[in-house]
Amino acid sequence: MSIYFDNAATTRIDSEVFNHITPFLLDHFGNPSSSHQHGRIARQIVEESRATIARLINARPSEIIFTSGGTEADNTALLSGIRLQNIKHVITSPLEHHAVLNTLKTLQAANEIELSFVRVDGNGNLDHEQLDVLLQSKGKALVSIMHANNEIGNINNIELIAEQCCRHKAIFHTDTVQTMGHYKHDVKELGAHFVVASAHKFHGPKGIGFLYCRDGVDLHKIIHGGSQERKLRAGTENVAGIAGLAKALEIAYADIDQHRTHIQSLKNRLIDGLKETVPGVLFNGNSALADESLYTVLSASFPADLAHGFLMNYLDENNISVSGGSACSTGHASHVLEAIGTNNSRQTIRFSFSKYNAADEVDKTLSLLSALSNAAAA
């Protein structure tokens, strides 16, 4: 049995999505910018997909821009918000994805912005009172806070942050890469100016995502060339990817409650089993709290002597795929765990689940960890 518990990094493509996009690779392969029949069919696919996504998240089709994924969408939103709105002060948290942090630190190093970080406590919860203070301190600001953390699963109160930004006339960008397709989003209720998503996090194809940009907020072009995506993003559109993105989101929304119940039960099973079989296990952030974390993510911290510090290798050798945190940071210390003060002598494993996981996979994982824990105690 091969077990995949790294769905926060990427997910298996849904077979219905795969079947849906195949004709756009083999038959309807035209360039959407071409005026002939093949091109017109491809253009229709792109615009129908845009309309589907807009309908699902309560946006206008004109507010949806297709990108190569979350990183490009984050970069586009941040550079647009900062440069076109003449923003000099940016507020973020130390727990953001590197697509956000590294972009902002690059702008800070070039003296384009002053960068402030909202405090977080030992569980990764944001200090909203300090956010208010920061918003009042240095003129109009841009705030970039993710909806949910990809390593420890904490869910931020996006609606409250949006209200705070609105009161202070700040621009608000939120990365919803880990929550799009797992929670139903209404961008009007979220209140953000920019929202980011990536298809491969909810059983769509890799290499495609979208940026929601609220009408009235201008976008800064970062890829120059042709006039695609209403002259905002040059390059021939990834027609099959776009079709797959829309189909994956449509499927996710149709079955969202059923999948949430199933996945949450697996996560609860693992939490209870770890508490029972692995003495000394701890859970990072709010990841073990059902109402305050992603139902898809559990971050667990294990005693250092378990598997002599090579716990992930041990699980991999037993055909269980997990991670220590973000796939983008493999081989480096986790900035998220450092920011919340996690003991770096312990071993952290991020288990992340999908609709394709099953209870027997959790049980096999627990059996292996229990045997390892017993051996370490002997």
Which domains are assigned to the chain? 3-11+256-377 (3.90.1150.10), 15-254 (3.40.640.10)
Residue 218: Cβ-neighbour burial (10 angstroms; 0-12, 13-18, 19+):
exposed
Backbone φ and ψ for 10, nearest 5 degrees, come out as -165, 160
Segment-wise mean pLDDT, segments of 10 residues, the chain, 378 residues: 96 98 94 92 96 98 97 97 95 98 97 97 97 94 98 97 97 98 96 98 98 92 86 90 98 97 98 96 96 97 90 96 72 86 90 98 97 84
Sign of CA dihedral 268, 274, 277, 280: negative
Adjacent-strand bridge partners of 213:
194
Of 365, 337, 343, 348, the closest CA to residue 154 belongs to 337
Whole-number pLDDT of residue 325? 67
What's residue 94's pLDDT? 98
The amino acid present at 95, given as its one-letter code, is: L
- Contact (Cβ atoms closer than 8 angstroms) between residue 355 and residue 345: no
Name the pairing type of β-strands 282-283 and 209-213.
unpaired
Residue of 165, 166, 213, 328 marked active site: 328
pLDDT one-digit tens code per residue, 44-55? 999 999 999 999
DSSP H helices in 15-69: 15-26, 37-57
Active site residue 328: yes
The set of residues, in sequence order, having a beta carbon less than 8 Å from that of 340 and lying 6+ positions away, is: 95, 120, 121, 122, 123, 124, 152, 284, 285
Instruction: Could you list the beta-strand ranges (E) of 145-242.
Output: 171-175, 194-198, 209-213
Give the C-alpha separation, 359 to 5, whole Å: 12
Neighbours of 80 (CB within 10 A): 24
| Residue 89, φ and ψ in degrees, nearest 5 | -125, 120
Can you give the pLDDT at residue 241? 98
Q: Return the pLDDT at 299.
A: 97
**pLDDT per position as a tens digit, 267-299:** 999 999 999 999 999 999 999 999 999 999 999
DSSP for 286-345, please give it: TTT-TTTB-TTEEEEEE-TTGGGG-HHHHHHHTTEE-BSS-GGGTTS--HHHHHTT--TT
Half-sphere exposure (CA, 13 Å, Cβ side) for 195? 27
Model-level pTM greater than 0.85? yes
pLDDT of residue 23: 96
Which has the closest alpha carbon to 173: 104, 259, 266?
Answer: 104
